[in-house]
């Protein structure tokens, strides 16, 4: 068909191996985060646009260029979530949980950003995410990062991933640093790209993130935040590094990390890989002590991260194997008994299928095609003797097994 429908640009279907890779990442994150005491939440896929518009930063790319915002039929402005964090803060306030702190939250699900699609970058992508709400201690930052590192390790991809760490200081440090950056970049404004010139007033720290080659040369010699940190901010950062060492999490300091969203202060970090070309960030996060208040709640210190499931899935060496079940194959007038057996096996937790039709040969072909590890062949004589023939489809060996022992044997 000439005008066959394709998935919308920047979206993809997850089928077979792709879905198994994806699911393995999410299952692993869910399991590991639970061992750290995180509870799973599910927040809506869309929110009132105001949840994201101001809070992520009016000058951030996500808000200026990438949000899927529309008016719904009732005239409300709605946005498909581009990230979890703002929605989680909104949910904390909406559900009256600001009196039950700390909350340790795990989430997984699809996100939407109108970005230019390429390998590892999609318009609908998936994140796993954890947030600790209500803890101002550097131990919380380190524990959140340690949990992320543990997930990356459990996925077997730690050799391809580096944790890069930075501090953005407190407000006083940032104000002083901001002034220093404005001074430095103003001196060199002739060499700045158009985009960065526009950022000079509104958000000079974002220039540090520029991909423009000319900007990057300037950025290399730009001041770092370190000399502008207040004693309190430097002390907090020391704490984070000390706890990370105690957790045994390896990290590299990178004073250029500013993150693409505006709500961060103090800790900022990214998990970087060299294996995905331009899309080198598999995850990122940091501390955001002001966001809950921006949602109309009290001051609630918080820290968290999100990891890109699609990118982690691409990094997995081996896809998890396809599940191999058993195929029940009736011969002659034994279908009723075969159905009883297939249900017994399923209730015992065994993946079991029965071909809907065909002679023995056709049904055995089907058993092979679905990758069954064993066939349970049921003939009329077998039923009379209270057995079934179990054929190991890998070795070809076959033996009679008493019907009552089938589930135990096949497990
Ligand atoms: P983020 O850095 O915008 O942070 O996104 C986190 C991760 O999501 C990225 O490192 C990347 O792996 C993945 N990602 C982002 N955009 C795309 C895309 N278009 N296609 C595929 N993957 C993508 C946040 O979202 C913050 N909410 C993290 C956070 C949680 N901070 C505190 N708590």
* Phi/psi at 304 (5° precision): -175, -175
Residue 82 CA, closest ligand 1 atom number: 25
What pLDDT is attached to residue 289? 96
Say if strands 161-167 and 265-273 run parallel, antiparallel, or are unpaired.
antiparallel
* Phi/psi at 189 (5° precision): -65, -25
What pLDDT is attached to residue 393? 92
CA of 149 relative to ligand 1 center, distance in Å: 16
Write the DSSP assignment of 140-155 as a string of letters.
Answer: HHHHHHHHHHHHHHHT
Q: Report percent pLDDT > 90 for the chain.
A: 82
CA of 262 relative to ligand 1 center, distance in Å: 13
- The mean predicted confidence, pLDDT, of the chain is 94
Q: Which two tokens stand for residue 179?
A: 């002034």
**Residue closest by Cα to atom 14 of ligand 1:** 308
For residues 54 and 259, the answer to whether their CB atoms sit within 8 Å is no
Q: Which two tokens stand for residue 321?
A: 């194997």
Residue 308 CA, closest ligand 1 atom number: 12
Which residue out of 127, 166, 312, 313 has the highest number of ligand 1 atoms within 8 Å of its CB and is therefore the one to mutate? 127
CA of 77 relative to ligand 1 center, distance in Å: 23
What pLDDT is attached to residue 1? 52
For residues 164 and 345, the answer to whether their CB atoms sit within 8 Å is no
CA of 280 relative to ligand 1 center, distance in Å: 11
The 10s digit of each residue's pLDDT in 315-364 is 999 889 999 999 999 998 999 999 999 999 999 999 999 977 888 888 88
- C-alpha count within 13 angstroms, C-beta hemisphere, residue 274: 4
Say if strands 352-354 and 326-330 run parallel, antiparallel, or are unpaired.
parallel
Confidence band of 367 (pLDDT split at 50, 70, 90): confident
Q: Which two tokens stand for residue 141?
A: 């930052």
Write the CA distances from 400 to 279, 332, 375, 381, 386, integer angstroms.
Answer: 55, 18, 12, 11, 10
CA of 308 relative to ligand 1 center, distance in Å: 6
The 10s digit of each residue's pLDDT in 195-219 is 899 888 888 998 998 889 999 999 9
The 10s digit of each residue's pLDDT in 34-75 is 999 999 999 999 999 999 987 877 777 787 789 999 999 999
Assess whether pLDDT exceeds 80 at residue 151. yes
Ligand 1 interacting residues, C-beta cut-off 6 A: 83-85, 113, 115, 121-122, 125, 127, 129, 131, 260-261, 281-286, 288, 304-306, 308, 310-311
Residue 288 CA, closest ligand 1 atom number: 32
- DSSP assignment, residue 59? T
Confidence band of 370 (pLDDT split at 50, 70, 90): confident
What pLDDT is attached to residue 203? 86
Assess whether pLDDT exceeds 80 at residue 115. yes
Which residue out of 41, 83, 160, 266 has the highest number of ligand 1 atoms within 8 Å of its CB and is therefore the one to mutate? 83
CA of 306 relative to ligand 1 center, distance in Å: 6
What pLDDT is attached to residue 276? 85
Query: What is the strand order of the sheet 326-330 is part of?
Result: 352-354, 326-330, 374-378, 387-392, 398-402
Mean pLDDT across 82-99: 97
Name beta bridge partners: 389.
377, 400
CA 85/CA 67 separation, integer angstroms: 15
For residues 391 and 375, the answer to whether their CB atoms sit within 8 Å is yes
What pLDDT is attached to residue 57? 77
CA 152/CA 316 separation, integer angstroms: 10
Assess whether pLDDT exceeds 70 at residue 2. no
- Give alpha helix (H) positions in 15-104: 17-35, 50-53, 61-65, 85-94
For residues 46 and 16, the answer to whether their CB atoms sit within 8 Å is no
Residue 281 CA, closest ligand 1 atom number: 10
CA 83/CA 94 separation, integer angstroms: 18
Using DSSP's 3-state secondary structure scheme, residue 21 falls into helix
Cβ count near 295 (within 10 Å): 20
What pLDDT is attached to residue 177? 94
* Phi/psi at 110 (5° precision): -80, 150
Assess whether pLDDT exceeds 90 at residue 242. yes
Q: How large is the angle between the packed helices 231-247 and 138-154, nearest 10 degrees?
A: 30
Mean pLDDT across 245-261: 93
Report pTM. 0.93
């Amino acid at each position: 068909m000439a005008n066959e429908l394709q998935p919308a640009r920047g979206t993809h279907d997850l089928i077979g191996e792709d879905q198994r890779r994806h699911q393995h990442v999410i299952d692993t994150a869910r399991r590991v985060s639970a061992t750290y005491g995180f509870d799973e939440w599910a927040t809506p896929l869309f929110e009132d646009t105001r949840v994201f518009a101001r809070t992520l930063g009016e000058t951030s790319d996500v808000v200026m260029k990438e949000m899927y915002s529309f008016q719904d039929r009732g005239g409300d402005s709605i946005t498909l979530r581009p990230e979890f964090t703002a929605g989680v803060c909104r949910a904390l306030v909406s559900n009256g949980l600001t009196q039950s702190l700390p909350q340790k939250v795990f989430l997984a699900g699809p996100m939407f950003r109108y970005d230019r699609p390429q390998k590892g970058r999609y318009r609908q992508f998936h994140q796993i995410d954890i947030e600790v709400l209500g803890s101002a201690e550097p131990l919380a930052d380190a524990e959140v990062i340690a949990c992320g590192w543990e997930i990356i390790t459990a996925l077997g991809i730690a050799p391809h991933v580096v944790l890069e760490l930075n501090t953005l200081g407190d407000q006083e440090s940032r104000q002083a640093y901001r002034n220093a950056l404005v001074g430095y970049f103003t001196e060199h404004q002739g060499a700045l790209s158009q985009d960065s010139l526009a950022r000079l007033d509104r958000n000079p720290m974002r220039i540090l993130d520029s991909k423009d080659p000319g900007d990057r040369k300037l950025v290399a010699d730009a001041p770092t935040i370190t000399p502008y940190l207040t004693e309190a901010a430097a002390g907090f950062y020391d704490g984070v590094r000390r706890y990370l060492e105690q957790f045994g999490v390896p990290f590299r300091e990178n004073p250029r990390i500013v993150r693409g969203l505006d709500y961060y202060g103090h800790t900022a970090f990214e998990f970087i890989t060299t294996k995905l070309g331009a899309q080198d960030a598999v995850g990122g996060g940091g501390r955001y002590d002001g966001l809950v208040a921006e949602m109309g709640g009290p001051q609630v210190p918080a820290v968290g991260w999100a990891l890109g499931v699609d990118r982690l899935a691409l990094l997995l060496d081996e896809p998890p194997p396809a599940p191999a079940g058993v195929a029940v194959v009736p011969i002659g007038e034994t279908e009723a008994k075969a159905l009883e057996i297939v249900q017994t096996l399923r209730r015992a937790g065994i993946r079991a299928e029965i071909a809907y039709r065909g002679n023995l040969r056709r049904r055995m072909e089907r058993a092979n095609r679905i990758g069954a590890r064993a066939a349970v062949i049921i003939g009329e004589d077998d039923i009379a003797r209270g057995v079934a023939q179990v054929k190991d489809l890998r070795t070809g060996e076959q033996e009679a097994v008493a019907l009552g022992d089938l589930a135990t044997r096949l497990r």
